[in-house]
A = this chain, B = another copy of it.
């Protein structure tokens, strides 16, 4: 658990914290053959009901293009169902299946139990404190902040590869 460089490097510190927390839950998900993202999607749909991809994306913090693949594989595995909306053919409704609902019923209690395990080891109010701090951080950093001015012709590390036009 090396922690050099963490000061004046908030993103890295958040990454390390996330890893430290997630390490306690990863074994559960692996045991059920679920990826972390699949579990986020299942959990979101189980708690909030059927949703459209863009809502899932922002809820689960997964970008659209990633989500397309995640949902495709989950559909393949029979974990979600996708159908176009009658009213608007662009939009899609994603819902859980019987299989994923059953899976959720198995996994959720274990995740909750692990949570309580951590709470009792770390202290309930320490975790509550973390929630408060993070909530505030997100709210404050979400508001617009002035961006530093960037030089016009910077020394670039690597030229961005050009995209091949598809056809």
Contact = CB atoms under 8 A, between A and B. Distances in A.
Interface in A137-156: 137-138, 140-143, 145-148, 150-151, 154-156
A159 interface: yes
Interface residues of A, number: 88
Given A5-B43, A27-B147, A61 B15 contact: yes
A121 interface: yes
A68 interface: no
A155 to B, nearest CB: 6
Interface in A109-151: 110, 112-115, 117-118, 121-123, 126-127, 129-131, 133-138, 140-143, 145-148, 150-151
B33 A158 contact: yes
Contacts of A61: 12, 15-16, 19
* Copies of this chain assembled into the complex: 2
Nearest to A24: B145
A133 B126 CA distance: 8
Given A5-B43, A146-B117, A154-B31, A141 B21 contact: yes
A138 B17 contact: yes
A88 interface: no
A118 to B, nearest CB: 6
* Interface class of chain A by DSSP: helix
A33 B156 contact: yes
Interface in A57-80: 58-61, 73, 77, 79
A36 to B, nearest CB: 8
Nearest to A48: B4
B145 A136 contact: no
